[in-house]
């Protein structure tokens, strides 16, 4: 068991040598930052820091190793979020996980951003032409998780990324991978590592980057079409390392503490902790706090939008007296600066 765990950690260490983590000088140089957004409420209530303990379909956004830990044979999850209240941006997500055999689980996840209708403006009509457009950000993820008998689980996600408006688009691929390790007399201690958003460079192309101009040689007067090239950009890769410990007070009451460290390739590193209380695994309340490493008080205006507090609550009830069928609703709120926070709600069905 220990040999497998050490081998997996060494493998992750090899990949992370390719990351330039915690570099604030590169902040803003990546693209596709929606890959870091979390549409699921249960993990959002812990500020997306539940790397070690996350399970089921929700794990596909943070640590795919948790996919194999769904409580039943099938799990369906629907998520909606009001991102940065006041911006009218919404996140919608859907995911499904299906156990295959004894230890394997396949998963599919979809996420899209709804930015509403934006007015079209031009240099001649800066107040608007009367037309509108709507950006389209869409992700499709295919995942597989496997749990070994010695309490080690691994997972991997291949994700397709599409960003587009009516005449310009970009497409790319990303890879997420993760490991979880559980030990202790009652599986109290959990450890997790996940490597996210490792993939192809992306660039925009399309008719929107073309424009008409006069013939440059001046011999004849006629218009030509010029195609502009868009600079490539990298994906916002990140490494998460998390620990958690369950205090089982009795058969009904559980109290969990967790800590998490995130190494960002294009921003400052982040560290934080959280707590969760569970009553009969039916009612759960949670909260967390996250901050950026190395951010001085004089430069607090550079802090991440999600530095600070988060909180959430879950209600999950069995739908049958016997079996693992359950129905649950999760809610989370994350304070943001600026704007008025992000609200998440998820509906979970386990069969």
DSSP string, 39-80: --HHHHTTTT--TTT--GGGGGGT-GGGGGG-SSSEEEEEEE
Nearest by Cα to 33 from 119, 142, 127, 161: 161
Phi, psi of 160 (to 5 degrees): -95, 135
For the chain, the average pLDDT equals 89
Domain count, the chain: 1
Which DSSP state fits 323?
S
Residue 267 in this model has a pLDDT that exceeds 70: yes
Q: Count CB-CB contacts under 10 A for residue 143.
A: 24
Residue 6 has pLDDT above 70, yes or no: no
- CB count within 10 Å of CB 167 equals 11
Q: Please, which pLDDT band fits residue 300 given cuts at 50, 70 and 90?
A: low
Of 254, 258, 335, residue with least CA distance to 50: 258
Decide if pLDDT at 24 tops 80: no
117 versus 155: the higher-pLDDT residue is: 155
Give the integer Cα–Cα distance in Å for 259 and 191: 10
Q: How far apart are CA 93 and CA 34, in angstroms?
A: 13
Cα–Cα dist 190/180, whole Å: 7
For residue 301, what pLDDT band results from cuts at 50, 70 and 90? low
pLDDT class of 11 with cuts at 50, 70, 90: very low
**For the residues of 271-300, what is the DSSP string, one character each?**
EEEEEEEEETTTEEEEEEEEEETT--GGGG
Distance spanning both ends of the chain, measured CA to CA: 31
Q: Collapse the DSSP code of 14 into the 3-class scheme (helix H, G, I; strand E, B; otherwise coil) and give the result.
A: helix
Inform me whether the pLDDT recorded for 169 exceeds 60: yes
Q: Which regions of the chain does DSSP assign to beta strands (E)?
A: 74-83, 89-100, 104-114, 118-119, 132-133, 136-147, 152-164, 169-183, 189-199, 210-214, 223-227, 238-248, 253-264, 270-279, 283-292, 308-318, 326-334, 342-350
Alpha-carbon distance 351 to 349, whole Å?
Answer: 7
Average pLDDT over residues 277-297: 90
Q: What is the dihedral of CA 31, 34, 36, 37, to 10 degrees?
A: 160
- Summarize pLDDT for 68-115 with one digit per residue, the tens: 999 889 999 999 999 999 889 999 999 999 999 889 999 999 999 999
Q: Are 46 and 290 in contact (CB under 8 A)?
A: no
CATH number of the structural domain spanning residue 34: 2.40.160.40
Residue 218 has pLDDT above 90, yes or no: no
Banded pLDDT at 23 (limits 50, 70, 90): low
Query: Cβ-count burial of 127 within 10 angstroms (0-12 exposed, 13-18 middle, 19+ buried)?
Result: exposed
Confidence band of 227 (pLDDT split at 50, 70, 90): confident
Domain of 288? 2-350
**Confidence label for 223 from pLDDT (cuts 50, 70 and 90):** confident
The Cα–Cα gap between 62 and 193 comes to: 10
pLDDT interval class at 349 (50, 70, 90) = very high
- Which among 134, 206, 159 has a CA at the least distance from the CA of 34? 159
Q: Which token pair is 40?
A: 């699921």
As a dihedral over the C-alpha atoms of residue 67, residue 70, residue 74, residue 79, rounded to 10 degrees, the angle is -70
Confidence at 3, pLDDT banded by 50, 70, 90: low
Per-residue exposure over 20-31, b if at least 16 CB sit within 10 Å of its own CB, e if not: ebbbbeeeeebb
CA atoms within a 13 Å half-sphere pointing along the CA-CB vector of 257: 1
The model's confidence at residue 331, banded by pLDDT at 50, 70 and 90, is very high
- Residue 313: CB atoms within 10 A of its CB come to 17
């Amino acid at each position: 068991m220990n040999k497998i765990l050490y081998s997996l950690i060494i493998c992750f260490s090899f990949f992370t040598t390719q990351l330039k983590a915690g570099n604030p000088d590169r902040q803003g140089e990546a693209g596709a930052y929606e890959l870091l957004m979390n549409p699921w409420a249960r993990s959002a209530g812990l500020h997306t820091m539940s790397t070690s303990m996350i399970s089921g379909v929700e794990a596909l956004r943070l640590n795919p190793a948790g996919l194999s830990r769904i409580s039943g044979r099938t799990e369906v999850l629907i998520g909606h979020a009001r991102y940065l209240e006041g911006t009218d941006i919404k996140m919608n997500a859907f995911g499904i996980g299906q156990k295959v055999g004894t230890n394997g689980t396949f998963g599919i996840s979809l996420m899209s951003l709804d930015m509403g209708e934006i007015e079209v403006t031009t240099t001649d009509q800066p107040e608007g032409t009367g037309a509108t457009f709507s950006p389209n950000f869409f992700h499709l993820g295919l995942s597989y998780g496997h749990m070994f008998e010695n309490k080690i689980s691994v997972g991997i996600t291949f994700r397709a990324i599409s960003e587009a408006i009516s005449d310009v688009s970009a497409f790319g691929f990303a890879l997420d991978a993760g490991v979880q390790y559980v030990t202790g007399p009652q599986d109290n201690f959990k450890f997790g590592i996940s490597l996210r958003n490792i993939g192809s460079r992306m660039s925009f192309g399309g008719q929107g980057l073309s424009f008409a101009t006069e013939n440059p040689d001046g011999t004849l007067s006629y218009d030509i079409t010029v195609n502009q090239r868009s600079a490539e950009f990298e994906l916002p890769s990140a490494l998460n390392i998390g620990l958690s410990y369950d205090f089982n007070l009795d058969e009904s009451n559980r109290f969990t503490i967790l800590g998490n460290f995130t190494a960002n390739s294009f921003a400052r590193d982040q560290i934080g902790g959280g707590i969760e209380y569970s009553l009969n695994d039916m009612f759960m309340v949670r909260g967390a706090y996250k901050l950026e490493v190395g951010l001085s008080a004089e430069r607090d205006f550079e802090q991440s939008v999600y530095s600070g507090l988060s909180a959430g609550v879950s209600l999950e009830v069995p739908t049958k007296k016997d079996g693992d069928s359950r129905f649950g609703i999760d809610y989370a709120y994350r304070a943001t600066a600026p704007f008025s926070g992000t609200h998440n709600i998820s509906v979970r069905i386990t069969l």
